[in-house]
Structure 1
Amino acid sequence: MGTRVAEPAIDPAATEYVAADGVRLPLKAWLPEGGAPKAVILALHGFNDYSNAFAAPAKDWAAQGIATYAYDQRGFGRGPRPGIWAGVDTMQADLLGAAQAVRARHPGVPLFLLGESMGAAVVLTTLAEQGNLPVGVSGAILSAPAVWSRDTMPFYQRWALAVASWTVPWYELTPPKGLKIRASDNIEMLRALGRDPLVIKASRVDAVAGLTTLMDQALGSVGKLPGPALVLYGEHEELIPRLPVGIALSRLPKDRVQAAIYPKGFHMLLRDLHAGVVRDDIAAWVLDPGRPLPSGAETHPRVLEHRGALVAGNPPDPGKTAAVQGGS
């Protein structure tokens, strides 16, 4: 981030978030009709996505009296320098500035930070470094947080990423043809993303390396996550392997963080075919943080297994199991 020139702000039309260094980031807002919101969500999108990721869930939340704001992070959507990784420090500073700007727009209304995948990793690392929730922030929701750290990757992936980052950082990577990884069971939504010109289809090597560094920090920060917080994964998560997910769940502070796994959920929990269950859980939790979830997803056997590992003092050892787990 550049030199601070002003207080972070949201323009009167709520179409731009002006960061502290003066950079203008496209913003979307979904507000409840007929009165002040009961709560506000500030949402961060995932890698290669943009603020429109929250259009459908935000409409559901608005109907329940919850306002949602989401901005295009630098390097994504209509933000500046599409495809160029802005750096973790800059992304974290933008988040804190946006939270300040939203608080100013809705003084006294409970504010929650929500991140999806990469966005969840930004929220997680920001809050862990702060040590506490920022002033005026009431909690955090992490949907499928990206925690696939280098320690949990097979050696050949780490080696290839390092070599590519040193030699051809500008080279654009596209997913290999035939790679059978499903981000969601909502095929129509995935096809729409494929047609959307603002969704990045090929990533620079240095952007992937930057994302990996963020995920390193995210997995290392899990135990420092302040609460109240809610962490969500799908049983059919295929983008983030089971090993780092299990490690993350085992390290979450049990006294201040709830975790849930959705039996029909994929990586894109908020846009899957059964996303309504997840959205309703989030709305209920935002209106009453710490409450049991209406779906009961926090009682999923894998949640109980991994959270129990922390109690037993025996969380998974990434060094011993990464080679076995690989990139599955």
Structure 2
Amino acid sequence: MTNPVRRMPGLCLLLLAMLLSACSSMPQAQPRPELRPQEWVSYDGKVMPSQTWAVPVGSKPRGIVIAVHGLSGASSDYWLLGERLPAKGYTVYAYNVRGQGKDPVIADRGDIKSSRQWLRDLETFHLLVRRQHPGVPVFWYGESLGSLICLHTAASRLNARQDPAGIVLASPVAGLKVTVSGFKRFLLETAATLSPRSRYSLGDLAGVDEKNIQVTNKTTHGSQMAVTEHHISSFTLRLLTEIGGLLDTNPNAAKRLRMPVLFLATPNDILSSPDQVQTLFSQVRSPSKRLLWYTRSYHLLLHDVQREEVAQDLARWLDLRAR
């Protein structure tokens, strides 16, 4: 007859193995949101690169500018603000948007599960920066897709005590010049449901050659992207439909804005017409709002012939509100 006492070590080993197996299958604790020197951790543990252009050593910033780039962009797109604003007393933070060309997960580039991730990312980054600089006013500067992210985050994610001191919508995506019929939109949304990660270039969807899309006074989208390391050649249908969903709710978002708002726009924008920009501006109910036009520039205002003018206008607007 087997001695029960001799069987105990084997039983203990079995129980220990089961316990270790259970522990390995348990979800691991996510890193807490955090600002690091050249990267940051978002609400869900996602780590993304970022850049900071600080005010001169020994001085306290008058204000902070958080810059959010556009589709197929990167934080490095804001080098001009990084060169001009710190000397005027403003520290500039620019983070790389998830799903774009600097996303560390290559398979995620050109894709997003939900636009809510973009909004929560900006909310998280904003609160981290506020914690880093207590009592200093924080402003947002969003370009193109970044303008949508800023608009909708300000409208729906924060409250009056946490809101930015003001937001700048540069080359705002107020609508699309290219008309998408209801039937074509239905087909796109159905395809996005059935095959959400199918990819298309912007030229494919718009029916134009990207080499002919003017983005600055002297360059086209094709020539710019040919020398841009963070260029994304195609985007998933679900990312494109998520952007479409933000566009649909632009009017409601604009009506909820109460902080100062600055529009920086060009009548030559490839995405939105002047009438669409003017309409979105009129829907903003903030008691302090301003719209500036740059008639010789195209979509990439900070990289075009009037970029110094844009930087100067921005600095003057910040000075009035940083007081």
User: Would the TM-score normalized by the shorter structure come out above 0.5?
Assistant: yes
Contact 1:116 1:145 in 2 (8 A): yes
Counterpart of 2:299 in structure 1 is 267
> 1:71 is matched with which residue: 95, 99, 119?
95
1:10 aligns with 2:10: no
User: Could you tell me which amino acid in structure 2 is paired with residue 102 of structure 1?
Assistant: V
User: Could you tell me which amino acid in structure 2 is paired with residue 15 of structure 1?
Assistant: Q
User: Could you tell me which amino acid in structure 1 is paired with residue 291 of structure 2?
Assistant: A
Shift of 1:120: 0.9
**Equivalent-residue separation in structure 1 for 2:31 and 2:196 (angstroms):** 33
Query: For the structure 1 residues 187 and 253, does the alpha-carbon distance in structure 2 shift closer, same or farther, using more than 3 Å as the test?
Result: same
Counterpart of 2:73 in structure 1 is 49
Shift of 1:109: 1.7
Query: For the structure 1 residues 151 and 267, does the alpha-carbon distance in structure 2 shift closer, same or farther, using more than 3 Å as the test?
Result: closer
SS in 2 for 1:284: helix
Query: For the structure 1 residues 265 and 133, does the alpha-carbon distance in structure 2 shift closer, same or farther, using more than 3 Å as the test?
Result: farther
1:208 aligns with 2:231: no
User: Could you tell me which amino acid in structure 2 is paired with residue 171 of structure 1?
Assistant: S
Larger Rg belongs to:
2
Contact 1:29 1:68 in 2 (8 A): yes
Shift of 1:93: 1.0
Structure 1 stretches lacking a partner, 5+ long: 292-328
Contact 2:34 2:41 in 1 (8 A): yes
Contact 1:148 1:219 in 2 (8 A): no
> 2:182 is matched with which residue: 140, 147, 155?
155
Query: For the structure 1 residues 68 and 245, does the alpha-carbon distance in structure 2 shift closer, same or farther, using more than 3 Å as the test?
Result: same
Contact 1:120 1:142 in 2 (8 A): yes
**Equivalent-residue separation in structure 1 for 2:310 and 2:60 (angstroms):** 24
Counterpart of 1:144 in structure 2 is 171
The aligned runs of 1:1-328 (5 Å cut-off) are 5=30, 7-11=32-36, 14-34=37-57, 35-79=59-103, 80=105, 81-130=108-157, 132-133=159-160, 135=162, 137-148=164-175, 153-155=180-182, 157-174=184-201, 175=203, 176-177=208-209, 180-187=212-219, 191-253=223-285, 255-289=287-321
Query: For the structure 1 residues 17 and 133, does the alpha-carbon distance in structure 2 shift closer, same or farther, using more than 3 Å as the test?
Result: farther
Query: For the structure 1 residues 232 and 152, does the alpha-carbon distance in structure 2 shift closer, same or farther, using more than 3 Å as the test?
Result: farther
Contact 1:45 1:118 in 2 (8 A): yes
**Equivalent-residue separation in structure 1 for 2:143 and 2:110 (angstroms):** 18
SS in 1 for 2:93: strand
- 1:110-161 C-alpha deviation (Å, 9 max, x unpaired): 2101111111111111111147555263111111222327997443552443
Between the two proteins, the alignment pairs up a number of residues equal to: 288
SS in 1 for 2:49: strand
C-alpha RMSD over aligned residues: 2.9
Contact 2:210 2:222 in 1 (8 A): no
Shift of 1:91: 1.1
**Equivalent-residue separation in structure 2 for 1:97 and 1:3 (angstroms):** 21
**Equivalent-residue separation in structure 1 for 2:87 and 2:245 (angstroms):** 38
Structure 2 stretches lacking a partner, 5+ long: 1-26
Shift of 1:75: 0.7
Query: For the structure 1 residues 270 and 70, does the alpha-carbon distance in structure 2 shift closer, same or farther, using more than 3 Å as the test?
Result: same
- 1:193-234 C-alpha deviation (Å, 9 max, x unpaired): 422232212222222112111222224311222211112211
- Of all paired residues, the percent bearing the same amino acid is 24
